[in-house]
Amino acid sequence: MKKVGNSSCNDGALLRMGLNDNKAGMQGLDKEKINKIIMEATKGSRFYENELKKDQQVNQRIEKMMQLKEKITTQQLLKAQLQVDKLVIELEQSRNLSSTIVHIDMDAFYAAVEMRDNPELKEKPIAVGSMSMLSTSNYHARRFGVRAAMPGFIAKKLCPHLTIVPLNFEKYSKVSKEVREILTEYDPNFMPMGLDEAYLNITEHLEKRLNWPEDKRRFFFNTERTTEKGIAPNTMLAKMCSDRNKPNGQCRVAPERQAVLDFLKDLPIRKVPGIGKVTEKMLKALGIVTCSELYQQRALLSLLFSEASWRNFLDISLGLGSTHLEKDGERKSMSTERTFSEINTAEDQYSLCRELCRDLAQELQKEGLKGKTVTLKLKNVNFEVKTRASTVLSSVSTEEEIFAVAKDLLGTEIDSVAPHPLRIRLMGVRVSGFLSEEEKKYQQKSITSFLKSGKEISFLRLHAGKSNPECFTKNSEASPRGSFFDKKRAARQLNSENPPNETVGKQLFHDKKSSAHFVEETKKVTDLQNSNMCKIFTCPVCFEEQSSNNLEELNRHIDECLSGSLVKDTMEIPKNDNSRESTLNFLPQIKSENVDECQNKVDQLAGTDQSACTSDSCTSSSTEKFTQIISDKPHRERQPSNLSDIARNVCMKQCLLPKRISEDNEDLFEKTVHTEETSSSCFFEAKGDSVLVCPVCNSEQKTNSLVSFNKHVDVCLNKGLIQELTEKKDFPKTYNTENSNRVGGLIRGQQCTNPSQGTKRSGLTTSQSVSKKAKSSNSKNTIDMFFK
């Protein structure tokens, strides 16, 4: 630690010297030159072609999003604004500024360690890594555009004098460990993020420190010059702090709400941890670049993005983050992968696969882990990545067990491109689906041992054995998926028809066409367990069929049967196909309790909406005519999948359902399709001489177009909704100028008289009025002002 500190003390001085010293030949390059050189080295390569392809995919995502955006109606936006702002209030109330979190980031860590060990390097531009990939670079090199995640051969073009030092993880780990020992002093529970980063919660330390005698107090990290510090009330802010003022910076956000908002105001979203290249681009397409813009567009975002995403956006724009450092939980997966120059023969691919399995098995056993899912990862020479996974009944951990699964996956992929060779540049194997502690217990006294002990499987009824076709149907019902798994099953079927032959081994490698038949000395028992064909077991205790595909669950069932505790439960399990079917039919229906639950959720989320929803025509007799309104929502094509989606739907239903007419009312409308050169569009028009009457204002409408009519209903609805809302005193007062323009533009005869309308306000400033000033009526930026 101290050594790192010393070497890095000079770093700043050297850097400053370098800036003025052209003798060293390190004047660097300007951005334009850098980009030009990178482009020349890049374009035309397979890598670049794939980058372009990925870019196109992102563009398509953006296009889809923009189409959704077009379809959003004003009242949907308004509605969303209400719900989101309700949430904003809750979030504000839960804001916690009482912790002090520090983020430590050791700058160019690997490079700093290498320079410490070889002082000659200090004055040179260096990078750590290889010709194919760099992990980091020092500041001399960065002036030439040499950066982490850049291949070394391109870096060399940018900076011909660049010294590339190979990675030496053991060394970095050792230094990292030394640093961590010091961090422990300040927070014994600090959270390391990789070798060169950590979060510390120094709240308690600061309290203790107050009582320390003067001579015991030291400054934090006062010898550490390459370390970035971020000090803030939560992890997200601390991390963004440490990014500021690089290199050698320190930054602090005071534990005050306003300080947090000021910090975020003009901060580009890309600086936020969790917002990467793609998200940045998507948001940019919506005109969002800074955190305050993120806040301003919160309603729109809630309609265009998933719940998890927009809630995260909201947290970000409010400057909320975790205030305590959670220990990272149990590991969820373990993997190993390798990049190599093209491998295209099945033989090499299988032996490589086995090698990876061997390495992985070794690591798994170090941690005593067993997993049920094996995933094979392949990257072809065009840089296209594929993953193929298979979940088996009994968890695996040994080389043989993992390979038994992985080789099937690989075989399927080889076959899928046959007769062409599979040309790959990377292969990886991952094991996941680890047993929980509880499951481990059941795994020990398992069926496995019973099976392994002999060939007696009388209690394990192999349904597939009775009638293979039937079994296949059953499986494809359970997983109505495409060709891949059908092929896989077919391959397995073939395998089981050609019993494992210990002598096959290598000869088969040469027979590319039959690589699916590739079978090594795989244990029969494992195959039996892993086979998807035997999904239905008969419990040896209660003789009930068990359809779980999880060995541990089965064992648990048997245990419980043995102890007699399951008697009651089994009575409730449907016993024949008929009753099972009726259960399935029943499942998708929403129970009345669920609706109540949803309503509660809606009340929570949208409190003020309630009165708007229940007050008028929700009881309209025409309700049943308009059941399709939910599918009218442009931003959710899928069925409600979680509570808040359902809640949202219930809310939409109550407020809007009786009032609009959908395209499904075929008795009222007929569809006309207009075809043009590039596209065709369809319109819905009222049949014959029917006159459309607005269900809100009761007036006859001149139009016979569904679109125009619904537009009118929207406008009417907005009027009613807003009246309801403005009667509510605790309505969130967060409408900014932009919103008011939009809403005001839609509602005729309602003009904004607020003098402050023209002045642009940041969303964050208005959010300030949400929390504390909302109660006092001195906030001018209220919806009341706009609509009274």
Question: Residue ranges of the alpha helices (H) in 123-276?
Answer: 139-142, 152-158, 169-186, 203-210, 235-243, 257-264
What are the angstrom distances between the C-alpha of 488 and each of 278, 294, 370, 379, 636?
Answer: 34, 46, 23, 20, 33
* Residue 274 or 564 with smaller CB distance to DNA: 274
Options 9, 37, 41, 121; binder of DNA; rule CB under 7 A:
41
CB of 758 to DNA, least distance (A): 35
CB of 34 to DNA, least distance (A): 13
154 binds DNA (CB under 7 A): yes
The binder of DNA chosen from 29, 58, 618, 747 (CB under 7 A): 58
Binding window for DNA (CB under 7 A); candidates: 10-18, 50-58, 443-451, 604-612: 50-58
Nearer of residues 385 and 707 to DNA, judged by Cβ: 385
Smallest separation, CB 43 to DNA (Å): 8
| Contact status: 522 vs DNA (CB under 7 A) | no
Q: Which of 52, 131, 494, 567 binds DNA (CB under 7 A)?
A: 131
640 secondary structure, DSSP code: P
Rounded to whole angstroms, the Cα distance separating 515 from 630 reads 50
Contacts with DNA in 559-588 (CB under 7 A)? none
CB of 51 to DNA, least distance (A): 7
Is there binding between residue 168 and DNA (CB under 7 A)?
no
638 touches DNA by CB under 7 A: yes
According to CB under 7 A, which one of 177, 338, 742, 780 is a site residue for DNA? 338
Which residue, 339 or 365, is less far from DNA as judged by CB?
Answer: 339
**Position among 259, 278, 697, 752 found at the interface with DNA (CB under 7 A):** 278
Give me the least distance between CB of 20 and DNA, in Å please.
Answer: 31
For residue 110, the surrounding DSSP H or E stretch is helix 109-117
Distance from C-alpha of 738 to C-alpha of 781, rounded to nearest angstrom: 11
The residue (of 54 and 702) whose beta carbon lies closer to DNA is 54
Query: Of 433, 658, 732, 763, which one interacts with DNA (CB under 7 A)?
Result: 433
Q: Which is nearer to DNA, 196 or 685 (CB)?
A: 196
Instruction: From 10-18, 145-153, 245-253, 686-694, give the range in contact with DNA by CB under 7 A.
Output: 145-153
Count CA atoms closer than 13 A to 242's CA, side-chain side. Answer: 25
Q: Is 594 in the site for DNA (CB under 7 A)?
A: no
What separation in angstroms does the CA of 425 have from each of 31, 380, 656? 32, 6, 55
| Beta carbon nearer to DNA, 450 or 485 | 485
Q: Which of 151, 249, 421, 640 binds DNA (CB under 7 A)?
A: 151
Over the window 706 to 745, marking each residue x when it contacts DNA by CB under 7 A and - when it does not, the resulting string is ----------------------------------------
How many Å separate Cα 213 from the centre of its chain? Answer: 48
Interface with DNA (CB under 7 A), residue from 81, 279, 380, 739: 279
Smallest separation, CB 565 to DNA (Å): 24
**Residues 103, 201: Cα–Cα separation, whole Å:** 9
Piece of the chain touching DNA by CB under 7 A; list 143-151, 610-618, 621-629, 668-676 = 143-151
Residues 239-258 that bind DNA (CB under 7 A): 239
The one segment of 1-9, 47-55, 446-454, 515-523 that binds DNA by CB under 7 A: 47-55
Q: Which stretch binds DNA (CB under 7 A): 210-218, 293-301, 382-390, 724-732?
A: 382-390
In the bound state with DNA, the residue whose beta carbon lies nearer, of 62 and 746, is 62
Q: Which two structure tokens, joined as six digits, stand for 280?
A: 């940045």
Q: How far is the CB of 276 from DNA (least distance, A)?
A: 2
Kindly state whether residue 150 participates in binding DNA, applying the rule CB under 7 A. yes
| Nearer to DNA among residue 213 and residue 480 (C-beta) | 480
* 3-class SS string, 740-757: HHHHHHHCCCCCCCCHHH
Q: Which of residues 20-39 bind DNA (CB under 7 A)?
A: 38
- Taking alpha carbons only, the member of 348, 342, 515 closest to residue 416 is 515
Q: Which is nearer to DNA, 61 or 358 (CB)?
A: 61
Structure tokens at 546: 């068990």
The alpha helices in 418-566, defined as continuous H runs, are: 437-444, 447-453, 463-466, 468-478, 483-497, 505-510, 524-530, 551-562
What letter represents residue 169's amino acid?
A: F
Compute how many residues bind DNA; rule: CB under 7 A: 70
Among 273, 421, 540, 640, binds DNA (CB under 7 A): 273
User: Nearer to DNA by C-beta: 334 or 657?
Assistant: 334
Number of neighbours of residue 535 by Cβ within 10 angstroms: 18
The candidate with the shortest Cα–Cα distance to 505, out of 522, 492, 490, 481, is 522
**Signed CA dihedral, 278, 281, 287, 291: sign only:** positive
DSSP reduced 3-state for 546: strand
Q: 373: which residues sit within 8 A by CB, 6+ positions away?
A: 389, 390, 391, 392, 431, 432, 433
181: left (phi over 0), alpha (psi -120 to 50) or beta: alpha
- Within positions 293 to 332, which residues make up the interface with DNA, using CB under 7 A? 306-309, 331-332
Q: Which is nearer to DNA, 199 or 731 (CB)?
A: 199
Of 642-671, binders to DNA (CB under 7 A) are none
Picking from 121, 148, 152, the residue whose alpha carbon sits closest to that of residue 136 is 148
Instruction: Determine the Cα–Cα distance for residues 110 and 117; give it in Å rounded to an integer.
Output: 11
334 binds DNA (CB under 7 A): yes
Q: Which residue has the tokens 């600061």?
A: 206
Applying CB under 7 A, does 149 fall inside the site for DNA? yes
Determine the distance from the C-alpha atom of residue 569 to the mean position of all C-alpha atoms in its chain, rounded to a whole number. 37
- The secondary element (H helix, E strand) that includes residue 126 is strand 126-129
Residue closer to DNA (CB basis): 48 or 683: 48
Using rule CB under 7 A, residue 333 touches DNA: yes
549 binds DNA (CB under 7 A): yes
451 Cα distance to chain centroid: 40
Q: Report phi then psi at 165, rounded to 5.
A: -100, 130
Q: Is 694 helix (H, G, I), strand (E, B) or coil?
A: coil
Query: In the complex, what is the shortest distance from the CB of residue 497 to DNA, in angstroms, rounded to a whole number?
Result: 22
- Contact flag: residue 375 with DNA (CB under 7 A): yes
By the rule CB under 7 A, 277 interacts with DNA: yes
**Contacts to DNA from residues 189-208, by CB under 7 A:** 193-197
Closest distance to DNA from the beta carbon of 17 (Å): 29
SS3 percent helix, strand, coil of the chain, rounded to 5, is 55, 15, 35
Cα dihedral 537, 541, 544, 549 sign = negative
Closer Cβ to DNA, 453 or 642, answer by number? 642
Out of 272, 424, 602, 661, which residue is the one contacting DNA (CB under 7 A)?
A: 272
For residue 430, state whether it binds DNA (rule: CB under 7 A): yes
Task: Quote the least distance from Cβ 704 to DNA, whole Å.
Answer: 34
> Does residue number 52 form part of the binding site for DNA (CB under 7 A)?
no
User: Contact at 8 Å (CB) between 317 and 295?
Assistant: yes
CA distance 711 to 589: 32
Tell me the two tokens of residue 283. 């948001």
Q: Which is nearer to DNA, 121 or 381 (CB)?
A: 381
Three-state helix/strand/coil letters over 8-33: HHHHHHHHHHHHHCCCCCCCCCCHHH
Burial 440-465 (b: 16+ CB within 10 A, else e): eebbeebbbebbeeeeeeeebeebbe
- Which residues lie near DNA (CB under 7 A)? 38, 41-42, 45, 47-48, 54, 57-58, 61, 131-133, 135, 149-151, 153-154, 193-197, 239, 272-280, 306-309, 331-339, 341, 372-373, 375, 385-391, 425-426, 428, 430, 432-433, 484-485, 549-550, 637-638
